[in-house]
Amino acid sequence: MDQIRACGWEHRIEILSLADRGEVPTGTKRNALMARARGEFIVGVDDDDDVSECYVELIGGALVANPTIDCIGIRGEVTYRGRYRRGFVYSIAHREYRTVKGVYLRPPHHLNPMRRRIAARYPFMGIWRNEDTECALRISRDGALQREHFIDHLLYRYHSRRWWFTQWAIDRTEPVRLPLGLQMVNRLKFVSPALPPPPLGAASASERAGAAADADADREHTS
């Protein structure tokens, strides 16, 4: 909120959070947040991660200056239990998931500011894990995002709770693991439990000129 106030955008950005104790699948909660959003662009921020001090200013400024884009490409970093820092780039320049020289290259997903009407065509699966990967690849393979403004600044810091050795093994097997893993995810479609009413005082993850955030503590990185 301090960044929003500093930019004078209190009336142009709305924030929605939705947290529980893990009873509801992450994908179901993301869909609920997206359904309640009213801005032209939406973006997610997990509540156990950090954003740069100029996150709102850079994203908001880019959306004001480039109102016809479909999404914003971002650069960030991930640490594993506070160690072993790795960079990532989420952009339409990358159609699939891959890793080059220790940098995770991915198509846009919920951490990228994205035009809401496009994002709404691609609801998340009602599952607890890998819902972001599956959704991002559907969007990418459809070519739904054509116009991107890339911000070449470290905007997002993801704090993974995964042990580095586990991540190392995942990275080494990525070319085989990801296709097989997504095939398994696609078999897990089910009717999600009813979403509980949001807590009092919850706000919304949409935006007209800047960034928005959603609180979602139970997500794991899917690199």
pLDDT given at position 177? 63
Instruction: Kindly give the parts of the chain with pLDDT less than 70.
Output: 176-223
User: Which tokens belong to 157?
Assistant: 């810091």
Over the stretch 57-83, which tens digit does the pLDDT of each residue have?
Answer: 999 999 999 999 999 999 999 999 888
* Cβ pair 27, 124 in contact under 8 A: yes
Q: How far apart are CA 106 and CA 97, in angstroms?
A: 5
Architecture category of domain 2-7+25-193 in CATH: Alpha-Beta Complex (3.90)
DSSP helix, strand, coil percent of the chain (3-state; round to 5): 30, 25, 50
Q: How far apart are CA 108 and CA 72, in angstroms?
A: 8
Q: Where are the domains of the chain?
A: 2-7+25-193
Q: What is the pTM of this model?
A: 0.78
pLDDT given at position 169? 80
pLDDT given at position 213? 34
CA distances from 114 to 18, 44, 130, 168 (A): 19, 10, 19, 30
